[in-house]
Structure 1
Amino acid sequence: MAVTEDTVSFVTCRHRLKDLDQLKRIGPAAFEAQMEQKLAILAELLEDYNEGRRKSFYCLAVTLLPLAELETVMTGLRTLNPAMPGKEKAAAAVNQLQAAAQRHDILLKRNLKKPDQEKTNIEKEG
């Protein structure tokens, strides 16, 4: 089965064409450096702002949001009180990432619709 925009995937495919264009535009070394920076941001989110239920959300946010926006969000999050409870820190991270996504018209939600489910639902209706 080919991966399509509608296929369930842990790593989203929504921006794959943009990513390929960027890779061509800036070159492999610069693209890899950006991915390493995003990986470091993801590691920090999972280490410091994850109350145990946000791994998928953070992976999606880091994948879809521009690096500059992620850096802005992280700068804001790093100013939070370190003594703040984990759930509050996670809520702050989610709120800031959601706000960043809205500024870029990005929906931070996985597309869980499987192509085969559509066919099954149509067959049931008919």
Structure 2
Amino acid sequence: MKNFKRNNAYFSLCGLNCGLCNMRLSGHCPSCGCGEHHSCSIAKCSLNYKGIEYCFQCDNFPCEKYKDADKYDSFITHLHQFKDIKKFQEISEVTYTKEQIAKVEILNFLLENYNAGRQKTFFCLAVNLLELENIKEIVKHLEENEDLKNMQIKEKALHAVDQFKSLAENYGIILKLRKK
């Protein structure tokens, strides 16, 4: 979108984690304001409010655009959108972005080593919704598991998925997009 620019390609204007989105990974979205093509209505709205980098900085937040934000998902989960906005505000943009960069690195590792062709959305959701320290524990388990080194990619992928599903279940998180 013309004249729409953002500095942070990891945390969007509306509070989604762009770096963990399968649309961005697939090259279909440059992330919030970091490319030429962007048709987001929230981005269009932000052009009317100069100096606001994130929607939560607006006096009207949350506005009508957020009415059902946490009920349904698009190509990335909105489940923790408001929770992530609060965390971002509490720990600072720098700290939150560092955490997102670490999650992006882990996501790339998972996709490179444990994706049998059908796990991209699942891993994007898992890394987005689970806490960094817990994700690191799973990755450590995967790296240290000698049995995995001799497995085919499909078996490795199933094992990794099972690890994430088990962790998510412990926290009452379902690793599936919620469609209308």
Bin for the TM-score computed over the shorter chain: 0.7 to 0.9
Q: Tell me: higher relative CO, structure 1 or 2? Use CA pairs within 8 A at least 6 residues apart.
A: 1
**TM norm structure 2:** 0.60
1:122 is aligned to none
Amino acid at match of 1:87: K
Q: 1:25 aligns to what? A: 90
- Deviating beyond 6 angstroms after TM superposition, the runs of 4 or more aligned structure 1 residues are none
TM-score, normalised by the number of residues in structure 1 = 0.84
Match of 1:66 among 84, 109, 131: 131
CA shift at 1:8, angstroms?
3.9
Structure 1 distance, partners of 2:73, 2:129, is 16
- % identical aligned pairs: 35
Could you give the per-residue CA deviations for residues 54-85 of structure 1, whole angstroms, max 9, x where no partner exists?
A: 10000010110010110011111112332311
Does 2:44 align with 1:44? no
Is 1:94 the counterpart of 2:94? The answer is no
- Superposed CA RMSD in Å reads 1.4
Aligned residues of 2:70 and 2:81 also touching (Cα < 8 A) = no
Q: Which runs of 5+ in 2 are unaligned?
A: 1-40, 42-64
Distance 1:24 1:102 in 2: 27
CA apart distance, 1:103: 1.3
Distance in 1, Cα, partners of 2:129 & 2:73: 16
**Whole-angstrom distance in 1 between the partners of 2:178 and 2:104:** 22
| CA distance, structure 1, for counterparts of residue 129 and residue 119 of structure 2 | 15
**SS of 1:71 mapped into structure 2:** helix
Supply the AA of the counterpart residue of 2:171: H
Q: Partner residue of 2:122?
A: 57
How far apart are the structure 2 equivalents of 1:18 and 1:71? Answer: 21
* Number of equivalenced pairs: 113
Query: Which residue of the other structure, out of 149, 153, 158, is the alignment partner of 1:82?
Result: 149
Cα pair 2:115 2:157 within 8 Å, conserved = yes
Measured after TM superposition, the shift of residue 10 of structure 1 is: 1.0
Greater helix fraction, Structure 1 or Structure 2? 1
